[in-house]
Structure 1
Amino acid sequence: MRERTDFRGDIQGIRAVAVLLVIVAHAGFGRFAGGFVGVDVFFVVSGFLIIGLLVREAEGTGRISVLGFYARRARRILPAATVVLVATTALAVYVLPLVRAQEVVKDAVWAGFFASNVRFAAVETDYFAADDPPSPFQHFWSLSVEEQFYVVIPLLLAGAALLARRRRSGGVRTRDLAVPVLVLTVASLVWSVLHTADNPTAAYFSTPARAWELGVGGLVAILVRGWGGASSPLRPWLAATLGWVGLAMVGFATLTFDAGTPFPGTAAAVPVLGTALVLAAGSTAAGQGSLLSRVLSWRPMLLVGAWSYSLYLWHWPVIQLAHEHWGRRLSLSQVLVALVVTFVLSAATFYLVEEPFRRGVRWRPPRRAVLLYPLSLVLVGGTAWGGQTYVDDRFDDLADNPGVEVSDFSRAELSDDPAVAIVEASVLAAEDGRPVPGSLAPALGAARTSIAPLGDCDYRGGMRRLCPTGTPDSDRSIVVVGDSHARAWGPTFTRIGETAGYAVYHLVYAGCPANRDSRPEPGTGAQWTACEDFQEWTREQVAALDPELVVVANSAYSARALPDELDGLAWEIEQLRESAGRVVLLGDLPTLPRVPGVCLSERDADLGSCLFTPSPGTHRDQLEFGRVATEAGAEFLNARRWFCADGKCPAVIGHYVPMRDKDHITVEYAEALAEPVGRALRLLGDAGS
């Protein structure tokens, strides 16, 4: 992934170590779960080589050619990246379910602009995208971090060189450039530590939280240049010790870190400083003659190091497509097949794409080389447009397929309750293998984003105010409390409030159930004070509102695995009952084995292939919570009747897609259930059956 200066075999070997660590971690070898630190090794090596190159240019010529720098980056980075983006997008659109294919198209465009880290920071911190499989372009986040860094660093150093020339006539010295690199590195490190403690998922993809890793590499290059480089009098034993200690630090991180390690922050210092030691030791004559240098310069290591950029680009989409073909758990033989494919594609890309563009004369002139940027965007954008067009055409093929109607079946087979009868009819239609309907609500392509709106009252950001819906100026009120499942039911109660004349307040917070025994904070595992504060504020608001009804809706966490939550729920309901006329626990939705929209958009899918058997544990747990709620004086409304019949849950009910993912209701179906839920709660006419 890096610029090349005077060839050093040990650096090529470090690249090989880095990419192999990343590959074995992503291939599922759990013992090497911390292999993601290979990316950090790459960052340090990149900063060492590229900032070192810029410093030498400034010292030698008194200035830095920003155009020349961008031209070299374009030749080095863009051709191979473009090939992988175009090929993977085309294949993914053809083989993936349509709703996933359209997300891959978006990911490709973000990757083409080297902004993947922004895209994936948003996706990974999106509570409602937690169950989505990884994108085949997720690994492009690290390239985005590098390229964003390299937009800034040549301008920063060019400016420092210009100031140095104006201050003195003796040219540019190393220390003139060391100061801005040091300031940038320290500022980024401080930000990384603070941001990782606050939001480790977002920090992981953040350029400001990662820039210090490239800066450390640059500082090592500057330090080495200051002490004389290869002519340094460093003792052989000391050089060898520094190198082996540095490599051991990288190994320690690989073997002890995992997905639960808050990263980058202070944890990243282990592989970063370890790599810095290896680079510093290898920069001396003593280090270049050491055993470690000879091991890293071993011919196979040199070859893997040379291919490292292409290996990094190809390994992740190959592994993800292997999962798509064989399932989420790959056997050893399947992993080996994926790795062989990765190495074959990488070798071809290196020799047929990387080398011709990097060393050929056609793209050598800087003004021509920078044209690779718009050319890459045209190719990636054109492929994405073609992919989206293909997806839209496939969706259009379903347009004439009808939805399910109660009248399609004998009334003797169905319930007298219309809302239950349509569920039963949908199960029968699925068992008949009917085609996927065309006019669905929401449309298949929009099901994933059918998330209940919160308006100005998204309490996750710390704001505290009330945003009534329904009939806002009514003297009668309903309060909906709970986590993301309470949010998903929000449109149901908003519609009830509009019809029956209630002001409806949605005091909901994703991941934070209405239960005194709250969960640990996602990402950090620490005590979730923000959730606890919100729960307390919610109880205060319910007391002040004195509502006719409080509806509690929580996700289906396990009552058996977390028995303290039974007591926590009972306590919560008792507190709410002191302030409300009625408290109802709304039994949670079924937990499905697959996302309905994904299943329905697979090639050759029909309603029968997407007829699900829900998790029995979820239903048992909800019945247990229902028992606790009724003993605490609340009512329990089991919602299962509106989603499943005879133990089977259809992916389409009538012409609705009822679930946006495995356990959240879509906005459209939530609104459609307003009448049956309202009747069942005696808010709209007589109670339903």
Structure 2
Amino acid sequence: MSSVPPAVAGAQTPRGFRLDIQGIRGFALILVLAAHAEVPGFEGGFVALDLFFVLSGFLITGLILSEVEKTGRLSLRDFYARRARRLLPLAAAVLGVIAIVSAIMFATQRAQNVSDDVIAAALYFSNWHFIAQDLDYFAFKSATVSPVEHYWSLSVEEQFYLVWPLLVLGVTALTARLGLSHRRTLLAVLIVIGAASLAHSIQFSAENPRAAYLSTLTRVWQIVAGAILVIVLPAGLRLSKRVSTSLVAGGLAVLVATTVTYSSGGAYPGWKAIFPILATLAIIVGGTAVMSSAPTRLLSLPPFQYLGRISYSWYLWHWPALVFVAAEFGPLSWPQSVGVTLLAWVPSHITHHLIEERFRRSRSLAVRPRWALALGGGCTVTAVALALLILVVKPGLPLAPVEAVAGARAGVSAPIQTKATALRPAPQNANDDKGRLFDDGCLTMGKKRKSKSCVYGNPKSKTTVVMLGDSHALQYFPAMLRLAKKHDWRLVGLARASCLVGDVNYQPTCNAWRENTLRRIEKKEKPDLIVTTNSIDKRFRVIVGGTKLSRTASEPHLESGYSRTYRRLLRTGARLAVIRDQSPTPFDPAECVLKNQKKLDRCAFKPNRNAKLSFDYKAARNTSERIKIIDPLRVLCRGTGSKKRCPAVIGNALVYRDSEHLSATYARTLDDWLYKRLPKV
């Protein structure tokens, strides 16, 4: 789900300590913990993130302006020292524990990935790090999910803390020279920044939801909203109790409503984030005006106050607890996730008192800001050092020689391989074994709405074969490339990450890419054979009548949309083959292999492809008899019925590079098997 940075500037404002703001923090913690535990009805708990960004803008801007207006200056050293001693010791301690546990628990490939993630988190650029990886943050049940993913929002916070005082000081210095009101000028600057960020957020969330969700630039307007409120809110504002009650109760109601009705994986933050932002502003205004209204008293109750105090610590600990327990025992049900989250309270409570509060309240650090800054630097260096240690202590498997790798050529009748002394790809480097099309940048990503020209084999051949789909289609490209060279084909790769080729309303960028690609096939490529594959992942939820449907409700729309696309492809005169999506692994296959080198049968899993959500197969079966359906489970798995198992290693080839993609090495050995099943051209 979402990640939340609970450690905003405390509940201290220029008007004094705000019990209601501390309570809001506790309320938001409940939302995000429940969302991460997948408690029914809390899927939209990621709106808590918006709440915290508003609070950050409101509290930090208020404190900065108060200091500037009282003293005529702002000590950047003191400001950064306060942030360092409040945030960095606990954040670094949790990162250190994550690094150590990952080194013990995870095999080389995943441990190395976590090492990179820890370093990015320690240096507070993890949101950009995850954007570069094209992270699907909401796929948190993936077998390779990182225990550090929740730090991305802390990175946004730290980036804000770094830039914000400089912005305020710059505006203050400029207005002093020009004889202007610094508050009015700052307000104008913030309105421009906020409007630009909101516009970008709306556009980019529709174009690239994964990156938009993590981007600092799509979140700036949320922070700005809180900052603007500080400037425009009259210091002596006193609303009636009725108005105050309406604002706070209404704001809480909107937050609850968005939690219940919003779903993960859509275009967010975008315009939908406006509602929780306005709700948070209403709660702040209502609490500022009258502190005796019933909703404000509710937020001031001891349970909410305690949750607010411990929110930073509990937030930092709960996510790695969920990831590590799931890695050891398998996917968790939501009651089990709730249990793990509650158990995470133990280290949260302990470190809140021993680390967070001790450094935050330290008088020696308060009067010696240089010490606090040195402490922050030391914490960062320690976390990075522990992350680098993973790279030193984790051994790997040797790389098997090419001639020793049979892969799919070992035959479906071969028994499940139980031992390995060398494999290809080496498990510790499995994720790099993607194939030439990936290496050449032919998987369309980001804002791009057209695929680049990726033509292989014989460019002048009279026989054109098109590979069409998402990354699950490109995983077969190594085999198709062998066939293209052997049979003198012109081979074209057309694929976009996490997009659908079916005629459905999914995401604007994906929709545009699909139409551009289909027109290219019709007017330019004019292929003899089209081979298509698509993931049937649960994230594919279509929009009908302006509403994003659940994955189950999307299924009939996906099936009919794919039928329309298949008919359109058949009208080109090409022969059409649909390779069904394979079953994802319930664990990280490379990690399992490294842990079980002498008992590889432990890494053979039962396929769990959901027949009810197999729109690719159902559409192909029901559209035309001219469509050739190819099921990869027949070569990937052994046995039948309840005894069917899919090995992680076949013929000394590591079958999977991650939990849902074949390795290029293994895919390359599928050439003969695939050729026998493709329509002849």
* TM-score normalised by the chain length of structure 1: 0.83
**Partner Cα separation in structure 1 for residue 298 and residue 633 of structure 2:** 63
Q: Deviations over 1:384-423 (max 9, x none)?
A: 11123233x2x2xx449999979xxxxxxxxxxx876613
The aligned residue for residue 261 of structure 2 is 256
Q: How does 1:199-598 map to 2 (within 5 A)?
A: 199-224=208-233, 227-228=234-235, 231-259=236-264, 262-284=267-289, 287-330=290-333, 332=335, 334-335=336-337, 337-364=339-366, 365-391=368-394, 393=395, 395=396, 398-399=397-398, 422-424=410-412, 427-430=414-417, 434-435=418-419, 437-454=420-437, 455=440, 457-460=442-445, 461-463=448-450, 466-472=453-459, 474-484=460-470, 485-510=472-497, 517-521=502-506, 528-543=511-526, 549-555=528-534, 564=560, 567-568=563-564, 571-572=567-568, 574-577=570-573, 583=575, 585=577, 587-588=579-580, 590-594=582-586, 596-598=589-591
Correspondence for 1:35 among 35, 39, 45: 45
Checking the alignment, whether the CA contact within 8 Å between 2:201 and 2:212 is kept in structure 1 is yes
1:464 is displaced (CA, Å) by 5.4
Equivalent of residue 592 in structure 2, options 590, 595, 599: 599
Q: 2:583 aligns to what SS in structure 1? A: coil
403 and 344 in structure 1: CA distance in 2 versus 1, 3 angstrom threshold: farther
Whole-angstrom CA distance in 2 between matches of 1:242 and 1:635? 60
**Cα distance, 1:190 vs. partner?**
2.1
Partner of 1:163: 174
The unaligned stretches of length 5 or more in structure 1 are: 407-417, 685-689
How many residue pairs end up in the alignment? Answer: 641
1:142 is the counterpart of 2:158: no
Give the Cα separation in 2 of the matches to 1:115 and 1:215: 20
Paired residue secondary structure (1:482):
strand
* CA deviation after TM superposition for structure 1 residue 47, in Å: 1.3
Whether contact under 8 Å (1:483, 1:555) holds in the other structure is yes
1 or 2 for the larger relative contact order (CA 8 Å, sep ≥6)?
2
CA distance in structure 2 between the partners assigned to 1:570 and 1:173 by the alignment: 62
* Cα offsets for 1:494-547 (capped at 9, x unmatched): 233344544432234445666xx434425x7x982321221121122232xxx6
Tell me the SS of whatever aligns to 2:384.
helix
Partners of 2:213 and 2:584 lie apart in 1 by 30
Q: Do 1:496 and 1:674's aligned partners in 2 also have CA atoms closer than 8 Å? A: yes
Residue in structure 1 matched with residue 105 of structure 2 by the alignment: 95
Which of 626, 651, 655 pairs up with 1:654? 651
Change (3 A) 1:82 1:156: same
CA distance in 2 between counterparts of 1:331 and 1:464 reads 40
Query: CA 1:539 to 1:302, structure 2 compared with 1: closer, same or farther past 3 Å?
Result: same
User: CA separation in 1, counterparts of 2:454 and 2:268?
Assistant: 37
Q: Following the alignment from structure 2 to structure 1, what is the Cα–Cα distance between the partners of residues 330 and 673?
A: 39
Q: Is the 8 A contact 2:580 2:617 kept in 1?
A: no
Equivalent residue letter for 1:555: N
Aligned to 1:153: 164
Question: Which structure 2 segments of 5+ residues have no match?
Answer: 1-6, 538-553
Separation (CA, whole Å) in 2 of partners of 1:638 and 1:26:
34
CA contact (8 A) 1:488 1:664 kept: yes
Aligned-residue RMSD, C-alpha: 3.7
Give the Å deviation of 1:148: 1.2
SS state at 2:344 partner:
helix
Alignment-derived partner of residue 548 in structure 2: none
SS at match of 2:117: helix
Distance in 1 separating the partners of 2:580 and 2:143: 21
CA distance in 1, matches of 2:34, 2:500: 38
Distance 2:137 2:467 in 1: 17
1:670 to 662, 667, 674: 667
Partners of 1:621 and 1:215 in 2: how far apart? 43
Alignment correspondent of 1:55: 65
Cα distance change on mapping 1:630 and 1:191 into 2, 3 Å = closer
- Give 1:155 deviation, angstroms: 0.8
User: What is the alpha-carbon distance in structure 2 between the residues aligned to residue 615 and residue 329 of structure 1?
Assistant: 16
Change (3 A) 1:629 1:638: farther
Matched residue type, 1:614: P
Amino acid at match of 1:163: L
CA distance in 1 between counterparts of 2:493 and 2:138 reads: 18
The residue number in structure 1 matching 2:186 is: 177
- Render the CA deviation track for 1:311-370: whole Å, top value 9, x for unaligned: 2211222222233344323363x4454233222212211211112212213433222322
User: Following TM superposition, by how much is the alpha carbon of 1:36 offset from its aligned partner in structure 2, in angstroms?
Assistant: 1.9
Work out the CA distance in 2 between the residues paired with 1:360 and 1:616: 55
Q: More deviation in 617-626 or 83-92?
A: 617-626
- Determine if contact 2:121/2:148 at 8 Å carries over to the other structure: yes
Contact 2:205 2:267 in 1 (8 A): yes
Aligned residue in 2 for 1:410: none
For 1:513 and 1:251, the matched residues in 2 are separated by 32
Paired-residue identity, %:
31
Q: One-letter code of the match for 2:369?
A: P
Q: Using the alignment, how far apart are the partners of 1:311 and 1:303 within structure 2?
A: 11
- 2-structure distance, mates of 1:300, 1:127: 30
Residues 443 and 497, structure 2, Cα contact 8 Å, conserved in 1: no
| 2:88/2:380 contact within 8 Å kept | no
SS of alignment partner, residue 649 of structure 2: coil
- Contact 1:403-1:438 within 8 A present in 2 as well: no
| Structure 2 counterpart SS, 1:86 | helix
For the residue of structure 2 that corresponds to 1:601, the secondary structure is: helix
Name the CA distance, whole Å, in 1 between partners of 2:297 and 2:621: 69
Letter of the aligned partner of 1:135 in structure 2? S
Alpha carbons 1:402, 1:438 under 8 Å: kept: no
CA distance in 2, matches of 1:380, 1:58: 34
What one-letter code is carried by the residue in structure 2 that aligns with 1:659?
A: Y
Task: Give the CA deviation at 1:441.
Answer: 1.5
Q: Report the CA distance between 1:483 and its aligned residue.
A: 0.9
TM-score, reference length from structure 2: 0.84
Once the two structures are overlaid, the 10-residue window that deviates more, 307-316 or 675-684, is 675-684
Deviation string 1:280-333 (CA, Å, 9 cap, x unpaired) is 22223xx1233333332222322221112112211222222233344323363x
1:486 corresponds to which letter in structure 2? Answer: A
SS at 1:552's partner residue?
A: strand
SS in 2 for 1:553: strand
Q: What's the offset of the Cα at 1:260? A: 5.2
Task: State the distance in 2 between where 1:557 and 1:251 align.
Answer: 31
The separation in 1 between residues aligned to 2:555 and 2:344, in whole angstroms, is 44
The Cα of 1:223 is off from its aligned counterpart by: 2.3
Displacement of 1:154 in angstroms is 0.8
Amino acid at match of 1:120: F
| Bigger radius of gyration | 1
Matched residue type, 2:477: G
Deviates more, 1:187-196 or 1:71-80: 187-196
Q: For structure 1, which segment, 585-594 or 10-19, has the greater mean C-alpha deviation from structure 2 after superposition?
A: 585-594
Bigger drift between 213-222 and 115-124 goes to 115-124
Q: Do the aligned partners of residues 156 and 199 (structure 1) sit closer, same or farther apart at CA in structure 2, a change above 3 Å counting?
A: same
**Does residue 1:70 correspond to 2:80, yes or no?**
yes
Equivalent residue number for residue 9 of structure 2: 3
